[in-house]
Amino acid sequence: MKDFDSLVGIWNEQKTAPVIDYKEVISHYKESRGKLRSKFTIEIIAMLLALGVVTYVLFTTDFQFWTSYIGLVIVQLCCLYFIIMQVINISTIANSNTLFDQPQDHIQFIQQFRKSRYVQHTRNYKVYTLVLGLGLSLYFIEFFYRLNLALMIGVVVATLAWFIICYVYLMKIYIRKEEKRFNEMLEDLERLNKQFKDEA
């Protein structure tokens, strides 16, 4: 039979030690910060380019149908939405200093942040896909009268197929996975929240 002091004695005998040193931490920080920054930069630049192309087409092409203008404006709004959400996410992460807060406050921040990410990844993404699909559909109306029939059918079928695959198959799998992860996470955070409540 051992008492707690004996366990402390055992604890003090341990030789467990970290395998990293401070230099590794500094170099890892510089490396990972660079990677993260370039990932976000590439995503935003790609979307800005797409937005630029759509804007250019919108202002330089003389469309016969008003639907084309509406369609392209909707596509522009989708691009803008994507960029704004990326910027909001980056600034939320960068400005969150809840690491210094008490565990309970930090847990609550993480809960809220994950909830908002979950809504973005599921409900908002669904709406985003539908709105983008609507924009492109409106834009394609003009194609019926401008392109030859075979090419038109090819473009419409390819676009429709892509949307159907995304919406019916890929997105459902993605949302199911997100839901599972979210529910597990919520359960864990709620349990931790209870543990850190200031009551003995």
Partner 1 sequence: MSNKEQVFKEIFQANSKKIYHLCFGYTGDVDAANDLLQETFLKVWQNLDKFRNQSMISTWVYRIAVNTCLTYLKSEKRQAKDELTPNIIENKEEETSDKQEQIKTLYQCIAKLEENERIIITMVMDEVPYPEIAEISGISEGNLRVKIHRIKHKLTELYNQHERL
* Residues forming the site for partner 1 (CB under 8 A): 1-4, 7-8, 10-22, 24-26, 28-29, 32, 97-107, 110, 114, 181, 184-185, 188-189, 191-192, 195-196, 198-200
Dist. CA 74–CA 133, nearest whole Å? 9
Whole-number Å distance between alpha carbons of 70 and 189: 44
Compute how many other C-beta atoms are within 10 angstroms of the C-beta atom of residue 16.
5
Shortest distance in whole angstroms from residue 39 CB to partner 1: 17
Q: For partner 1, which is the closer residue by CB, 77 or 110?
A: 110
Least separation in angstroms between residue 40's CB and partner 1 is 17
- The residue (of 95 and 148) whose beta carbon lies closer to partner 1 is 95
Closest distance to partner 1 from the beta carbon of 149 (Å): 52
Nearer to partner 1, 94 or 168 (CB): 94
The 10 Å CB-count burial string (b at 16+, else e) for 51-79 is: beebeeebeeeebebeebeebbbbbbebb
Q: Please, what is the angle between helix 22-60 and helix 66-95, to 10°?
A: 160
Question: In whole angstroms, how close is the CB of 45 to partner 1 at the nearest point?
Answer: 25
Cβ pair 58, 76 in contact under 8 A: yes
97 vs 148, beta carbon nearer partner 1: 97
